Amino acid sequence: MTAALTLQSLPLFPLSAVLFPEGLMSLRIFEVRYLDMISRCRKAGAPFGVVSLTQGAEVRLPGQPQESFSQVGTIATIETFESPKPGLMLIRASGAQRFRITQSDQLRHGLWVADVERVPDDLVVGVPDDLRNTAEALSRLIDSLQRKAGEGEALPLQPPWRFDDCGWVANRWCELLPLPVTLKQRLMELDNPLVRLELVSDVLARTGITT
């Protein structure tokens, strides 16, 4: 994507989760507004935007507060699609470019759309020696997940593995760790991938995953 990327009327999927670039997300879709959105995106080969909720819930119910969401999100593309029965879609989406919302609007049937601008990709920064244990621990975890995965079972991560890239290692840990959504969002928004990895490394050390 070019540095001048802007998108108009990008459909949004506000979730109680954060999608990171190159990450994977499995979604079970049954609300009419999102069934229609995913159907249109799939037919057109178009993306949608994942943003994390700051108020409200993923499923609209009477009496709930109005949805509000973070202004930085991640473009998602549909990787796999199933519709096991009418009114239900199962998709696996992958994260691409981060974006910042410049203007948003809710359509009559409840779907949010937004004009967005590109947030620059992480610079490729090598993992320094004092954080190497964080990358090595991720490598061991992925090896363990691969050994335990059954035949045909999809992993929560996708190759290529880049254990020498601060941003990639930090993002994968952010997806795997049970961190609060607000913290994941702040980490995703950070411009400096080395700082993101340092913060993730601190979490791993406090939980005893690394030393």
Structure tokens of 131? 């954080």
Long-range Cβ pairs for the range 61-70 (8 Å, 24+): 67/14, 67/106, 67/112, 69/12, 69/14, 69/112, 70/185, 70/189
pLDDT score for 4: 45
Mean pLDDT by 10 residues, the chain (211 residues): 63 97 96 95 95 90 84 97 96 97 93 96 97 97 87 81 98 96 97 97 87 60
- Residues whose CB is less than 8 angstroms from the CB of residue 100 and which lie 6 or more positions away in sequence, other chains included: 71, 72, 116, 117, 118, 119
Contact yes or no for 95/78 (Cβ under 8 A): no
pLDDT tens for 134-162 read 999 999 999 999 888 776 677 889 899 99
pTM greater than the 0.85 cutoff: yes
| Helix, strand, coil fractions of the chain, as percent rounded to 5 | 30, 30, 35
Which domains are assigned to the chain? 6-118 (2.30.130.40), 129-206 (1.10.4060.10)
- pLDDT at position 83 is 96
Distance CA 137, CA 97 (A): 26
